[in-house]
A and B are shown apart, each in its own frame.
Chain A
Amino acid sequence: MKAYFGRRYMLSASHRLHTPVLTAEANRAAYGKCNNEHGHGHNYFVEVLVGGAVDAETGMVVDLVALDDKVRTQVLDRFDHANLNLDPLFLDRVPTTENFCKTIFDLLHDALPAGELEHVRVEETENNFFECSARG
């Protein structure tokens, strides 16, 4: 029987929404206060949902400790207390939370067993969040 297991993690990071493709004025118009030259930061909540058959012996879909370990090494160690703009993955992409969510999804998708990752949700503040799903 297929079920899903979800876990929430928090990471704190800074970013600045700015693209060299646009003029300074157009950047300010597009990104508003998120374009502040010296950046700003958030406590991001990352919700990771994985799916699979419920193991008949353990009653579990995945090993929580193994999942935590993958998320820590792939995501938390990399982005917690970091400046997202300086990460190589954002050198030519704006670290909007849309792009951040897709980046986390791709990192975990490659690290977890095939077919396991169902979705990633990244909450930038308590009022906005973004989701990236295996279902496209």
Chain B
Amino acid sequence: MIFLTRRATFSASHYYWNESWPAEKNERVFGRCANRNGHGHNYMLEVTMAGEPDPVTGFVVDLKWLKGVMEREVLSAYDHKHLNLDVPEFKQVIPTTENIAIAAWKRLEPVVTAAEGARLSRIRVYETPEIFAEYRGEA
């Protein structure tokens, strides 16, 4: 089994806020991330596919194709956007790094599993070079 990873970056703003909590609790739990005017990051998205190299091309998947899928399914929705205000899945779900990884999986998985022979193995989202989250499709 070979694991192939493609990286892409996007820049977006967000804030952390649970509408069912009073302001005081949001500020205590989320700290500076609760600032309702938002803040932003240069995110790095890593998409890892698992599969065997094709006997003819030697590819697990075509990287150019994967780049296009990532741009179409994720970057076009997230890049230079306010995640809370501009992205449908974050109207009700807080755009933490964990939830962004899960949401990117949900966007990509139905498309990339159509690619014969390879499966989506892991999504990693870096919020900063020191902070990241991963989702592996687990329940």
Chain A residues within CB distance 8 Å of chain B: 1-9, 49, 54, 57-61, 64
Q: Are B134 and A6 in contact (CB under 8 A)?
A: yes
Q: Least Cβ distance of B29 to chain A in Å?
A: 6
Give the CA-CA distance A121 to B93 in the complex, in Å: 30
- Known contacts A3-B101, A59-B95, A61-B133; can you find 8 more A-B pairs with CB under 8 A? A3-B134, A4-B135, A8-B129, A54-B98, A57-B21, A58-B16, A59-B96, A60-B96
> Which residues of B from 76 to 115 have beta carbons under 8 Å from A?
93-99, 101-102
Most buried by B among A7, A9, A57, A59: A59
Given contact pairs A1-B139, A2-B139, A8-B129, A60 touches B134 in the complex (Cβ within 8 A): no
B21: chain A residues at CB < 8 Å are 57
Give the CA-CA distance A3 to B102 in the complex, in Å: 8
Q: Are B131 and A64 in contact (CB under 8 A)?
A: yes
Chain A's closest residue to B135 (CB) is A3
Q: List 29 A-B contacts (CB under 8 A).
A: A1-B102, A1-B135, A2-B138, A2-B139, A3-B98, A3-B101, A3-B133, A3-B135, A3-B138, A4-B133, A4-B134, A5-B98, A5-B133, A6-B131, A7-B131, A7-B132, A8-B131, A54-B96, A57-B18, A57-B21, A58-B94, A58-B96, A59-B93, A59-B95, A59-B98, A59-B99, A61-B98, A61-B133, A64-B131
- Quick check: is B130 within 8 A (CB to CB) of the other chain? yes
- Quick check: is B41 within 8 A (CB to CB) of the other chain? no
A9: chain B residues at CB < 8 Å are 130
Q: How many A-B residue pairs have CB under 8 A?
A: 61
Chain B residues within CB distance 8 Å of chain A: 16, 18, 20-21, 29-30, 93-99, 101-102, 124, 129-136, 138-139
Given contact pairs A4-B135, A59-B93, A54 touches B130 in the complex (Cβ within 8 A): no
Given contact pairs A1-B139, A3-B135, A64-B131, A58 touches B102 in the complex (Cβ within 8 A): no
Q: Least Cβ distance of B9 to chain A in Å?
A: 17
Chain B's closest residue to A52 (CB) is B98
B94: chain A residues at CB < 8 Å are 58-59
Chain B's closest residue to A47 (CB) is B132
